[in-house]
Amino acid sequence: MKGYVKIFTYGCQMNDLDSRKMYSLLARDGWEATESLKKADLIILNTCSVRQKAYEKALSNIGRLRPYKTQKPSLIIAVAGCIAQQKGRDIISRMPHVDIVLGTHQMHRICEAVDGRREEHRQVVDTQFGEYIPSLDIVPDQAFMTPAHRAYINIMQGCNNYCSYCIVPYVRGREISRDHAGILEEVRGHAASGVKEIFLLGQNVNSYSGGISFSELLRRIDRVDGIERIRFTTSHPKDMSDELIACFGDLERLCSHVHLPFQSGSDKVLELMNRRYTRTRYLGLIEKLRKARPDMAFSADVIVGFPGETNDAYRETLSLIREVRFDTLYSFRYSVRPGTGAAAIEDDVPPEEKSRRLSELQGIQRSITLEINQSRVGTTPQVLVDGVSPRNPDQVHGRTTQNAIVNFAGSPSLISSTVRVCITRANPNSLTGDREVPAAGREALPI
Ligand code: SF4
């Protein structure tokens, strides 16, 4: 055994998958995962720089590792992910207790970098962008897939869109897609080992170009025996094609949920954001998706307080939220990301006004989410059981096809099975139910 490793993950599902891949590579190389910082011989921070808060938290946590290194000089500290890509050697100049900096295209080199540091005392800084990203093809070990019935698969990385507030194209590079043959082989392998849900990941999956279109990829995955559910994220509204929307009409295994970030309800702000669609186009997509799949649930991202967002423009965002009625909304206060296009525009919405808008918007969304949850009481959805409920060991929790979280009384033996649950209570962010068959004659919507 080479030692114990602990990875801290910040940010999105893509980073989470990268961490699982690094754990897998290190496990194959003789490392064992640990939760104990004191025990760890290798600590990796897999960082995110998309929002100022995540960026500051990761940087401050890198600093807080210094005493561990003082106590155990053989400890290796590595920084990976978006901050590593953005800051490169600067990280080691500012924090010399860091041994390794690996950018977003170089994560597959983790074992080699650690060995180099241990054996030759070399500090490793590698932030090169390559023609291809080898880590796309790494399949995580079963031990690092939780829950075991859901497989996350990164089908592409990077982004060509340059939304003016976003750092991603600079830290993840331009779009690179994984070949469809490798993806399908991975899906078949997962199906053979009991995986029921495939979750496709990418910064903009709609522009996937790995030899076939994204909609064709979904159709081929849908034909793999054993796969019950297919999900994907994230979509860009400008790239959501009619072919993709048609998949929701044709493919039963494709879940009734789309995450479709809209960012603002105002055309003027959308233009400043370089989003390249209008409010009308966005609402048209929602309508088409609902037509293709009437029980469709929507989630989205929205930013308030973007430079130039007047009160009227902000009101347009609220009216879009009321019109669409999202199940879930991830809402953020605008924060400047240095190096992006929007950093050159005056950040003219005062901080207290950004906070006021965010809090009002979140209040409106809370009411909508609760109303949607209430409308599901009495329905009997199929729930894929993910695990024991964190707050009640006598309950298990899982998700409906619409991605709603359901808690109900049940034993851990139900984990990984799909069961029908009668919804009995609506909570602000989840549903409660039981496995009883609904009373005869009771109205039950087949969601
Ligand atoms: S589509 Fe826009 S917001 Fe999404 S990753 Fe690309 S640049 Fe960022």
Torsion angle, CA of 160/165/166/170, rounded to 10 degrees?
A: 70
The residues, ordered by sequence, that sit 6+ positions from 25 with a Cβ below 8 Å of its Cβ are 108, 110, 111, 138
Of 162, 226, 168, give the one whose Cα is nearest residue 202. Answer: 168
Decide if 64 is inside a domain: yes
Answer yes or no: are the C-beta atoms of 205 and 235 closer than 8 Å. yes
- Of 339, 355, 374, the residue at which a domain comes to its end is 374
Distance in angstroms (rounded) separating the CA atoms of residues 106 and 115 = 15
Q: Which atom of ligand 1 is nearest to the CA of 203?
A: 5
CA of 110 relative to ligand 1 center, distance in Å: 27
Check pocket membership of 154 for ligand 1, CB cut-off 6 A: no
Angle between helices 214-222 and 180-192 (to 10 degrees): 20
- Of 109, 126, 143, the residue at which a domain comes to its end is 126
Distance in angstroms (rounded) separating the CA atoms of residues 90 and 413 = 50
Decide if 59 is inside a domain: yes
Check pocket membership of 168 for ligand 1, CB cut-off 6 A: yes
pLDDT at 439: 55
Q: Please check whether residues 187 and 336 belong to one and the same domain.
A: yes
The structural domain count of the chain equals 3
pLDDT at 248: 98
Decide if 444 is inside a domain: no
Largest CA distance in the chain: 74
Distance in angstroms (rounded) separating the CA atoms of residues 167 and 144 = 29
pLDDT at 438: 45
Q: Please check whether residues 61 and 162 belong to one and the same domain.
A: no
- Nearest CA owner, ligand 1 atom 8: 166
Amino acid at 80: A
Q: Which atom of ligand 1 is nearest to the CA of 204?
A: 1
The beta strand positions in 156-196, using DSSP E, are 156-157, 176-177
pLDDT at 441: 41
pLDDT at 443: 43
- Nearest CA owner, ligand 1 atom 2: 163
Q: Please check whether residues 260 and 401 belong to one and the same domain.
A: no
CA of 445 relative to ligand 1 center, distance in Å: 36
CA distances in angstroms from 212 to 216, 220, 229, 246, 287, listed in the order given: 6, 10, 21, 16, 26
Of 126, 118, 163, 114, give the one whose Cα is nearest residue 7. Answer: 114
pLDDT at 436: 62
**How is residue 259 written in tokens?**
């995450």
Distance in angstroms (rounded) separating the CA atoms of residues 180 and 177 = 9
Distance in angstroms (rounded) separating the CA atoms of residues 152 and 198 = 6
Check pocket membership of 421 for ligand 1, CB cut-off 6 A: no
Check pocket membership of 373 for ligand 1, CB cut-off 6 A: no
Check pocket membership of 161 for ligand 1, CB cut-off 6 A: yes
Check pocket membership of 204 for ligand 1, CB cut-off 6 A: yes
CA of 274 relative to ligand 1 center, distance in Å: 10
Phi, psi of 111 (to 5 degrees): -65, -45
Decide if 390 is inside a domain: yes
CA of 321 relative to ligand 1 center, distance in Å: 21
Angle value at C-alpha 425, between 422 and 426, nearest 5 degrees: 115
Strands, sheet with 42-47, edge to edge from the N-terminal-most edge strand? 31-33, 3-9, 42-47, 76-81, 100-102, 124-126
Q: Please check whether residues 216 and 337 belong to one and the same domain.
A: yes
Check pocket membership of 14 for ligand 1, CB cut-off 6 A: no
Could you read off the pLDDT tens digit of each residue along the chain, which spans 447 residues?
A: 999 999 999 999 999 999 999 999 999 999 999 999 999 999 999 999 888 888 888 999 999 999 999 999 999 999 999 999 999 999 999 999 999 999 999 999 999 999 999 998 889 999 999 999 999 999 999 999 999 999 999 999 999 999 999 999 999 999 999 999 999 999 999 999 999 999 999 999 999 999 999 999 999 999 999 999 999 999 999 999 999 999 999 999 999 999 999 999 999 999 999 999 999 999 999 999 999 999 999 999 999 999 999 999 999 999 999 999 999 999 999 999 999 999 999 999 999 999 999 999 999 999 999 999 999 999 999 999 999 999 999 999 999 999 999 999 999 999 999 999 999 999 999 999 998 654 554 444 444
Beta bridge partners of 398: 385, 406
Output the domain CATH number for residue 277: 3.80.30.20
Decide if 281 is inside a domain: yes
Q: Please check whether residues 228 and 334 belong to one and the same domain.
A: yes
- Of 324, 351, 374, the residue at which a domain comes to its end is 374
Answer yes or no: are the C-beta atoms of 435 and 420 closer than 8 Å. yes
Q: Please check whether residues 354 and 419 belong to one and the same domain.
A: no
CA 215 to chain centre: 20
Instruction: Give the pairing type, strands 395-399 and 405-409.
Output: antiparallel
pLDDT at 446: 40
Check pocket membership of 163 for ligand 1, CB cut-off 6 A: yes
Distance in angstroms (rounded) separating the CA atoms of residues 181 and 175 = 18
Distance in angstroms (rounded) separating the CA atoms of residues 222 and 216 = 10
pLDDT at 18: 97
CA distances in angstroms from 189 to 194, 198, 268, 295, 367, listed in the order given: 9, 11, 47, 31, 42
Decide if 154 is inside a domain: yes
Decide if 184 is inside a domain: yes
pLDDT at 381: 97
* Residue reference for tokens 């829950």: 147
Q: Please check whether residues 72 and 90 belong to one and the same domain.
A: yes
Check pocket membership of 423 for ligand 1, CB cut-off 6 A: no
Answer yes or no: are the C-beta atoms of 342 and 273 closer than 8 Å. yes
Q: Please check whether residues 262 and 325 belong to one and the same domain.
A: yes
Angle between helices 242-250 and 279-292 (to 10 degrees): 20
Domain span at residue 265? 134-374
